[in-house]
Amino acid sequence: MPSRYKSEDGRYRKIKVRTWGDEKFRRLSAPPPNGQFLWFHLLTGPHTTAIPGLSSIGEAGLSEALGWPLKAFRRCWREVEAQAMAQADWQARVIFLPHAILHNEPESPSVVKGWIHHLVEIPECDLKNQAIFVIGSHLAKMGPVWAAAWVPGWNTVWSPASPSSGTCASSGAGTGAGTGTGVPPVGPPPAAMGSLPDSPPEQSHASETPEALLAVWQEYVPISRRNGLPGFVMTRELSAKWRISAACRLKEAELAWHRKAIDRLSRSKWACGGMPPSKGHSKPFRASFDWYVASESNCLKCYEGRYDD
């Protein structure tokens, strides 16, 4: 899987993790130990996981992978750590790049759900808990459906270490290993996070049905026809296929969330048939209920305003 690192202007390049094992790449001259190359390796090395910035590897493993003496690796690590770019618990063999999530946001809540499988493989320690908090905080800012996707990781993996238990060390092992994480144990999600739910949203409520979602769509059909536009396509009843799709969308987000998404879509000229037909089509596009529930991506784009004028 390629690693992606976005720059501040939105540009990014894909770098395949297997580059590090490529025969031709390995034949190239290696750089002397330095902080910049270490940072590049921390971002894209074979130790990385699908979870942005969180992985399990020790300092000996990293120095061996880079072909550097341990003493030289520790010197370069201190450079990176001094810039608050990375943290480590060498006893637990966990490293975390706290700003990685800012440049590697998930493409959908389904991607976040996939992170949970990798999360359980990270050794339990205070730094892992800190990572759960940092990533969860960022996902909460992205929206409730994103935060809800991270809740299983929070609820099932959360295992704060007692300061007296000796489970995790906050300092590096060995002479010159560095200061490690320097963070205290993290407790349960604070109330200040607000939009990050303490438990997965309840989807079994009687009103959270495919029929209810269709009713919201029907409500916005006349609204979408403002200013003389053709508006949304009216769907009067659910087929078996679209009933299943609608049920899936309701598992991903509550009905109120979908109402906001559909309301925003109703203001889009493109979605309401107000734009010229695209190449190969004789008629302008008009959003339909079938199209809306067909994929999680369509719903998210509506909610995020990707179709705004």
Does any domain span residue 69? yes
When divided into structural domains, the chain yields a total of 2
Same domain, 178 and 40: yes
Question: What is the reported pTM?
Answer: 0.54
Report how far apart, in Å, the C-alpha atoms of 172 and of each of 44, 60, 62, 123, 176 are: 23, 12, 14, 16, 8
Tell me which residues of the chain have a pLDDT lower than 50.
Answer: 1-8, 156, 158-205
Residue 55 forms beta bridges with which residues?
95
pLDDT of residue 10: 54
- Cα(92)–Cα(140) distance, integer angstroms: 28
What is the maximal distance between C-alpha atoms in the chain? Answer: 75
Same domain, 216 and 148: no
Same domain, 154 and 295: no
Q: End of a domain among 165, 193, 221?
A: 193
pLDDT of residue 78: 93
Does any domain span residue 68? yes
Q: How many other CB atoms sit within 10 Å of the CB of residue 2? A: 11
DSSP three-state, residue 55: strand
Does any domain span residue 125? yes
Residue 175 Cα to chain centre, angstroms: 36
Q: Spell out the residues 6+ positions from residue 7 whose beta carbon is closer than 8 angstroms to its own.
A: 103
Same domain, 176 and 227: no
Q: Spell out the residues 6+ positions from residue 258 whose beta carbon is closer than 8 angstroms to its own.
A: 213, 216, 249, 250, 299
pLDDT tens per residue, range 176-213? 333 343 333 344 443 333 444 443 344 444 568 889 99
Taking the CA atoms of residue 14, residue 16, residue 19 and residue 21 in that order, the dihedral angle to the nearest 10 degrees is 160
Question: What string of DSSP letters covers 86-104?
Answer: -EEETTTTEEE-TTHHHHS
Same domain, 171 and 234: no
The answer to whether residues 185 and 160 touch, using CB atoms and an 8 Å cutoff, is: yes
Same domain, 126 and 183: yes
Does any domain span residue 202? no
pLDDT of residue 184: 38
Tokens 């370069």, residue? Answer: 76
Same domain, 134 and 238: no
Domain around 267: 210-304
DSSP three-state, residue 163: coil
Same domain, 122 and 20: yes
Same domain, 119 and 250: no
Does any domain span residue 198? no
DSSP three-state, residue 4: strand
Alpha helices in the chain, H assignment, sequence order? 23-27, 35-44, 59-66, 70-82, 100-103, 109-119, 126-142, 144-157, 210-224, 240-252, 255-265, 289-293, 296-304
Does any domain span residue 177? yes
Question: What string of DSSP letters covers 250-299?
Answer: HHHS-HHHHHHHHHHHTT-TTTBT-SPPPTT-SS--B--HHHHHS-HHHH
- Cα(165)–Cα(250) distance, integer angstroms: 42
Same domain, 151 and 11: yes
- Cα(212)–Cα(218) distance, integer angstroms: 10
Q: In 3-state terms, the chain is what percent helix, strand and coil (to 5)? A: 45, 5, 45
Same domain, 230 and 187: no
pLDDT of residue 240: 81
Same domain, 118 and 221: no
- Cα(111)–Cα(146) distance, integer angstroms: 10
- Cα(169)–Cα(153) distance, integer angstroms: 22
